[in-house]
Structure 1
Amino acid sequence: MEYRRLGASGLTVPALSFGAGTFGGRGELFGAWGDTDARQARRMVDVALDAGVAMFDTADVYSEGASEQVLGEAIRGRRDRVLLSTKASLPTGPAAYEAGSGRSRLIGAVEGALRRLGTEYLDLFQLHAFDAGTPVEEVLAALDDLVRGGKIRYVGASNFAGWQLMKSLAAAERNGHVRYVAHQVYYSLLGRDYEWELMPLGLDQGVGAVVWSPLGWGRLTGKVRRGQPLPETSRLHRTAEAGPPVDDELLYDVVDVLDELAAETGRSVPQIALNWLLSRPTVASVIIGARTEEQLRQNLGAVGWQLDADQIARLDKVSGRTPPYPYYPYYRLPDFARLNPPAV
């Protein structure tokens, strides 16, 4: 397994990480993702560690905290072999104190995560969303205290807009607080919006991308194709509206090229889609999920080889879309691109 620096930090992370969103199985959304129990999760962790995948990502909202609890049971006795990543800020209940990134909420969220995971510290703690109601200075001061207290090693954000991330980074520098080194983002062949602003920002500011839903919310598994009904077992029947929107024609066009490359390389459709992501600037780790050991082993086959330049170019072309203003001049017009070339 290849290991990469996480942004401008001293933390090295595996190119593939394991997403524990399938652990627990509580609630309508996460119940559709999977219902892996502690025994099954321990086996998944065994397979991941044997392949060099040592980072495991979860969140307090995944299965109402059950994902963290199951993951904690699965890693018991081998905490020193794993990197634990979790997230908080999204609402976990209807009360005002059960949402956001205020000082009290963050301290309580971290303590709850530590308890459920059965650990004394988190390797990476990320804010699951930007909290517009709390000053960024308060958020960063609370995170700084948690780092100084030894409960968190590194901090990151997730699903931030460019201005939200830059405002936070500037405030951290101004006040001498801990700095975000990771941004957990949606990025796939079916959703390349990350490239327009967040990728250049990450390159400039040393923020590494940790990619969620790299297979386009389950659309790039190789089972969804033009002219064929959605497989009965697909979780898209229950969760499609909760994920990033995807134009059907874009999906089918991308899958057509993935099928061509699968025939050329002998690799599977998801392996090719994941390998493409691993070639992109700023990408430190791609989170893979799996409901079964077979799916996990299939996804692990995305590393140890590389698409060639022509194959990458074909995927770039079929998946590319003209971005909206103010980004499109820098992608389409030579004079603009000369001053501010796109990151890819």
Structure 2
Amino acid sequence: MEFRYLGNSGLKVSEITYGNWLTHGSQVENEVARECVQAALDAGITTFDTADAYANTAAEKVLGKALRHERRSSLEIFTKVYWPTGPKGPNDTGLSRKHIMESIDGSLTRLRTDYVDLYQAHRYDYETPLEETMTAFADIVRAGKALYIGVSEWTAPQLREAHGLASKLGFQLVSNQPQYSALWRVIETEVVPASGELGISQIVWSPVAQGVLTGKYKPGQQLPEGSRATDTKGGEDTIKRWLSDEVLTAVQKLEPIASDVGLTMAQLAVAWVLQNPNVASAIIGASKPEQVASNVAAAGVTLDAEVLARIDEALGDVVERDPAKTTSPATRVA
């Protein structure tokens, strides 16, 4: 496993982060989830990402239980706040001081830890003054409940304003967690340049585009039984944008490229996002332990300019590049 600094901080994270969105507490049985976490540890992963909203807090409980016997200082544990949790009352969502302060305590209890290494605003909250949000984060850092603060899916202007407030309040904004893959490159024109200037790293999610970049979905063929595309607990909703024959046909052109560099298509996809110097880590999920071991092989891989050009040519116009696609809900979701 290779490690990279997170933003301008002194914190190092594993190039591959194990995340449990859509799996722990919902799609995967708890014992299998534990086996996946153990597979991540065995592969050298030290960084684990979750959120209070995943499976309505159940994912944090599963991860906390799976990591309970590990040396805490050898791990980097990340979680998030914003989306509705609990009974989903009027204050059970957003980035108000009330919701943040109550949420961090709930997350720490479920994760069985006294602190998280990174606490992230899961989306931007247009209904709460940013200064209120950042002041609450500053107080959480000063209380020792979080070591660093990050965000997820924030735009370049939002990052700049938040970074300025964080500096005034005496803490570091070190990361952004956006969707990023060879198919979804909306952060490249605005978010990445701004982040580079500010000393903010990307911790990217969905590097294999919900599994489409593994090549298992074939144009004109029935969806594989038991795949995310057939999962009625949320998986099918997250992947459907990629299931057009146009996209799937382009993705199949990546198979010979992966073969030429000695990688699986999934490994090629993860290695691709890690070529971006602003990316500190790529988040992988897993429903089986063997998937973890396979994806970790992407760490430390260098893809030369010719390979990157071939990938661009293969995917062509199916790549999404519009920076306006980096968005947060205009109003809080109840």
The TM-score normalised by the length of structure 2 is 0.89
Number of aligned residue pairs: 317
Q: Following the alignment from structure 1 to structure 2, what is the Cα–Cα distance between the partners of residues 324 and 212?
A: 17
Q: Following the alignment from structure 2 to structure 1, what is the Cα–Cα distance between the partners of residues 81 and 320?
A: 33
Q: Hey, what does 1:334 align to over in structure 2?
A: none
Unaligned residue ranges in structure 2 (runs of 5+): 325-334
Unaligned residue ranges in structure 1 (runs of 5+): 26-30, 327-344
Contact 1:220 1:270 in 2 (8 A): yes
Listed as ranges, the matches of 1:1-344 within 5 Å are 1-25=1-25, 31=26, 34-37=27-30, 39-78=31-70, 79-92=72-85, 93-173=87-167, 175-237=168-230, 238=232, 239-242=235-238, 245-246=241-242, 248=244, 251-319=247-315, 321=319, 323=321
Contact 1:125 1:156 in 2 (8 A): yes
Q: Which amino acid aligns with 1:62?
A: Y
Segment drifting more, 150-159 vs 292-301: 292-301
Q: Following the alignment from structure 1 to structure 2, what is the Cα–Cα distance between the partners of residues 12 and 317?
A: 34
- Give the drift of 1:323: 4.8
Segment drifting more, 163-172 vs 266-275: 163-172
- Give the drift of 1:199: 0.9
Q: Following the alignment from structure 2 to structure 1, what is the Cα–Cα distance between the partners of residues 200 and 277?
A: 11
Which structure has the higher relative contact order (CA within 8 Å, separation 6+)? 2
Q: Following the alignment from structure 1 to structure 2, what is the Cα–Cα distance between the partners of residues 281 and 64?
A: 34
- Give the drift of 1:187: 0.3
- Give the drift of 1:51: 1.7
The TM-score normalised by the length of structure 1 is 0.86
RMSD: 2.1
Contact 2:208 2:269 in 1 (8 A): yes
- 1:172–1:131 CA distance, 2 compared to 1 (3 A): same
| SS in structure 2 of the partner of residue 141 of structure 1 | helix
Q: Following the alignment from structure 1 to structure 2, what is the Cα–Cα distance between the partners of residues 68 and 203?
A: 31
- Give the drift of 1:136: 0.8
Q: Hey, what does 1:331 align to over in structure 2?
A: none
Q: Which runs of 4+ in 1 moved over 6 A?
A: none
Q: Which amino acid aligns with 1:299?
A: N
Share of identical aligned residues, percent?
38
| SS in structure 2 of the partner of residue 209 of structure 1 | strand
| SS in structure 1 of the partner of residue 187 of structure 2 | helix
Contact 1:258 1:269 in 2 (8 A): yes
Query: After superposition, what is the alpha-carbon deviation per residue over 1:192-240, rounded to whole angstroms, capped at 9, x for unaligned?
Result: 1111211111111111000111111221122012232221222123334
- 1:149–1:250 CA distance, 2 compared to 1 (3 A): farther
